[in-house]
A and B are shown apart, each in its own frame.
Chain A
Amino acid sequence: MRTAFIEQLLVEARRNTRIFLVVGDLGYSVVEPFAAEFPDRFLNAGVAEQNMTGVAAGLASEGYHVFTYSIGNFPTLRCLEQIRNDVCYHRLPVTVVAVGAGMSYGNQGYSHHCVQDIACLRGLPFMTILSPADPGEARTCVRWLSENPSPSYLRIGKAGEPVVHGCEASFAGPCKIVDQSGDVAIVGTGPVLAEAVAASAQLREAGVPVDVFSLTRLSPAEAIDVGVLREYRRVVTLEEHVAAGGVGEMLRSLLGGHRDLRSLCVPQSLCMESGSQAALRRIGGLDAAAIVRTVNDVI
């Protein structure tokens, strides 16, 4: 997904001379093509995310649309106040890009698990959060961000994420990517949505049709129309993020008194486990098998 990001950013930078990429000493084997083609619009700010974000805001105040790029918590939580005060309060066009959404970095440990970022950034003024499910969505997001410069956060996976669906990302609300005329809607965000698509195939074979939605845009809430979900008696949400401040909570709030909404999210106890992303999804109850169990439980 990070390759899709940089390829699309290159496309955008060729037609939008305002695009500027700042990395926090990360992006080896990913961002080099951008640095080579646009050396005047590229900067490695070093391992210093507070300064990186302040510099990005300063560059943005002089007309650039700046993308900051680093792993998970580094360009987000480490410099949250710079995003809040420097970027959002001044409404500057800075897009924070975090690679390694959720538990993409698996065995590299909890420092690299990005599972509180949505909660931390959702509450900031003028902040747009985009969480693509697959490389195709990621490309659509970069194009949309280039056309809509504003304080924003792009949460992408790492490498090798499967194509989840062939649709473009929707920025208005949940986008149906599996339609089985089911009674249950599974709404997911980010690469973990692949588990929902796998679960939907298993459920269909078992005679339990479900519909699957990708929720790409997570903020601002007022821009998200969740009306389509009200047609379902049961909704299951899925995210590689903790419950507090995550997508499940958000949808529960937006849907009001929806009858049956189950949230599959990262349990806090998962920080004590170790494993690959697949193993952690299994332990944390976020894999296809867990989704199948949950749907069978709610119907």
Chain B
Amino acid sequence: MADLLAVLYGDVLNHKPHDPLWPARDRVILSKGHSTAVLYAILAEMDYFPVHELEQYGKDGSRFLTHVSHKVPGVEFSTGSLGHGLPFGCGKALAAKRQGELWRTYVVLSDGELDEGSNWEAILFAGHHRLGRLTAIIDYNKIQSFGSVADVLDLHPLADKFRAFRWEVAEIDGHDTSQIREALLVARDPDAPPLAVVAHTVKGKGVDFMEHQLKYHYSPPRTAEQLSEVLRQLGRGE
């Protein structure tokens, strides 16, 4: 998901980090609120706030809660309970459409959270109302909290499900930055169908002992040696 958010914030969004509430900004909602560490890091890199403030992550009195928090500059909406981001994003996209505004709404979802019925209410809604400037990005890493998606509640064929709900779909390699860019930069007419970007991803991508491992849904690097090895494999070693 880091690749998806990095391209979204770095190359796609129309935004002003020093003016987080700029009215014409594109709106981003990270519905998979447990992935907030990535979002905060990117917001810091984009200069929404100083990088050193990330040291406060998860500490007492900090605004950097460990689920997405709207107390953090650049965050539109707090999440954590799954299935809330897309309905909220539909409301924003509908407001833009009713007001003739051209900003876009991006909602980033996990595959596991598509178990939530509220998402399917919203998917039905967005297709019906042709919220063309709403884009859902699904981080489809095939692993959810307590097992593989295929074993728990299989989403396959996911792209077809969106199409059946009257969405347009782009299926991409969610780690290929050019594919991500191409999918997200395509112009969207306000009255077009909404766009679902089904991004096939690998959990723990880039770190050999983390890839596809459920354990790393819960566990960050625990030791200095492990952290060093993770950074080395990601090309960020000292």
Contacts and interface: CB of A to CB of B under 8 A. Distances in A.
Interface in B97-128: 98-99, 117-118, 121-122, 124-125, 128
B74 to A, nearest CB: 15
A119 to B, nearest CB: 21
Nearest to A55: B91
A57 B122 CA distance: 13
Contact of B84 (A40, A64, A86): A86
A251 B92 CA distance: 40
Contacts of B178: none
A55 B84 contact: no
B227 to A, nearest CB: 33
A63 B95 CA distance: 9
Interface string A44-81: 01101011011111111111100000000000000001
A54 B98 CA distance: 17
A85 B81 contact: yes
A197 B90 CA distance: 46
Given A40-B98, A85-B84, A86-B84, A58 B91 contact: yes
A61 B96 CA distance: 11
Contact of A54 (B76, B80, B90, B99): B90
B91 to A, nearest CB: 2
B77 interface: yes
A43 interface: yes
A48 B124 contact: yes
A86 B99 CA distance: 22
A89 interface: yes
Contact of B90 (A41, A51, A63, A81): A51
B215 interface: no
Interface string A80-94: 011001100110000
B87 interface: yes
A247 B80 CA distance: 32
Contacts of A54: 84, 86-88, 90-91, 118, 122
A58 B121 contact: no
Contact of A62 (B83, B86, B92, B118): B92
Which residue among A46, A60, A81, A85 has the maximum number of chain B CB atoms within 10 Å of its CB? A85
A54 B90 CA distance: 8
Nearest to A48: B121
A90 B90 contact: no
Size range of the chain B interface in the assembly: 20 to 34
A58 B117 CA distance: 18
A86 B92 CA distance: 13
A56 B91 contact: yes
A61 B91 contact: yes
B78 interface: yes
Given A46-B125, A50-B118, A55-B87, A81 B81 contact: yes
Interface in A23-51: 40-41, 43, 45-46, 48, 50-51
B124 A57 contact: no
Contact of B94 (A58, A89, A90): A58
Contact of A82 (B70, B80, B87): B87
B89 interface: yes
Contact of A58 (B78, B88, B124): B88
A40 B99 CA distance: 9
A81 B174 CA distance: 31
Which residue among A41, A43, A81, A86 has the maximum number of chain B CB atoms within 10 Å of its CB? A86
Contacts of A57: 87-88, 91
Contacts of B86: 54
A43 B93 CA distance: 14
Contacts of A90: 70, 77-78
A86 B88 contact: yes
Contacts of B91: 54-62
A48 B125 contact: yes
B87 A58 contact: yes
Contacts of A48: 121, 124-125
Interface string B52-93: 000000000000000000100000111011011011111111
Nearest to A56: B91
Contacts of A85: 78, 80-81, 84
Contacts of A64: 95
A81 B88 CA distance: 13
A51 B86 CA distance: 8
B125 A53 contact: no
A61 B89 CA distance: 10
Given A45-B125, A61-B77, A50 B95 contact: no
Given A48-B125, A50-B121, 5 more contacts: A50-B117, A51-B125, A55-B87, A57-B88, A58-B88
18 contacts: A48-B124, A48-B125, A50-B87, A51-B87, A51-B122, A53-B87, A54-B84, A54-B90, A54-B91, A55-B87, A57-B88, A59-B91, A59-B94, A63-B95, A81-B81, A81-B84, A85-B81, A90-B70
